Amino acid sequence: MSIKSGFYSSEDLSKKLNQQVYLESIATKFNNDSGNGNLEHGEVIHFLERKNNNHKLKKSRTKITKIDIKREDELGDILSQYQLLLDCITGELNKGKESKFNRFFLTYAKGRILDDMTYTKESYLGMLSYAVNAIESTEYDFSKIDLKNPKHIKSLLQIKVDFDPSNDLYLILLDLDTLINKCLDTEEKQMILMLRNGRQIKEIAEYHGLTQKQGQRKIEKICKKIAGFCP
């Protein structure tokens, strides 16, 4: 299957990398504190690679509808996972003072998740939304990706691209593969391979005889090890 890269400014790319890290931390906090086992935290999907061409949207905000959530395709699966997290946050907000979470934190997180759901829909359907004063560009800029940053490495591990030496993202992932082969032991490589093949943290942990929390910490430790090995 041929996959086309999306167009992002360095600022947009950095924002999307940071959004995944932020959402993972929210999901982890809810899973640990509320015991909700339905959220697959740590598996928020990037759309740096997508199957459709870009086309411009009107400047009005794209809305997420119930029809979007119930779609019987990959987009529906992803949005329904976001919706689970959104429902948890909304439930906590409705508790008012009885909630053990900071209200500002919850409100801010809710807004970020809604933004990311919108971005996911636009990306998956091949839409590209522009800010009013945005400068249009068709050039890629991956300069914000830092292989010394464990969070960026964890994000990159979930991206796949076709062989293309002219693609900067492909070359970055090639460098990442080199680091993985040099610094990880057999078990660590196996865990990373499972993650890159789309396996959930829970599945990886169970396969290696770990709890989900231990598996999450192990993956984070491996990402730090890779980052520390980067020259």
- Domains of the chain from N-terminus onward: 4-128 (no CATH), 150-229 (1.10.10)
**What pLDDT is stored for residue 88 in this prediction?**
87
Burial label for 108, CB within 10 Å (0-12, 13-18, 19+), is middle
Q: What is the pTM of this model?
A: 0.43
pLDDT of residue 25: 61
Q: Report the distance separating Cα 227 and Cα 152, nearest Å.
A: 9
pLDDT of residue 40: 47
Beta strand pairing call for 4-5 and 49-50:
antiparallel
pLDDT of residue 180: 93
Task: Classify residue 72 as exposed, middle or buried by CB count within 10 Å of its CB (0-12, 13-18, 19+).
Answer: exposed
Rounded to 10°, the helix 186-196/168-183 angle is 150
**3-class secondary structure, 49:** strand
Give the per-residue pLDDT at 172.
Answer: 87
For residue range 80-132, list pLDDT tens digits in order: 888 988 888 888 888 887 877 777 777 888 888 888 888 888 877 765 544 44
Residue in 4, 6, 8 with CA at minimum distance from that of residue 143:
8
What's residue 105's pLDDT? 74
Q: What is the dihedral of CA 212, 213, 218, 219, to 10 degrees?
A: 70
Q: What is the pLDDT of residue 47?
A: 41
Per-residue confidence (pLDDT) for residue 20, from 0 to 100: 60
Name the stretches of the chain with pLDDT < 70.
1-61, 126-142
Instruction: Give pLDDT, residue 9.
Output: 55
φ and ψ of 4, to 5 deg: -105, 140
Q: Which two tokens stand for residue 29?
A: 């906090």
Amino acid at 215: G
**Which pLDDT belongs to residue 22?**
56
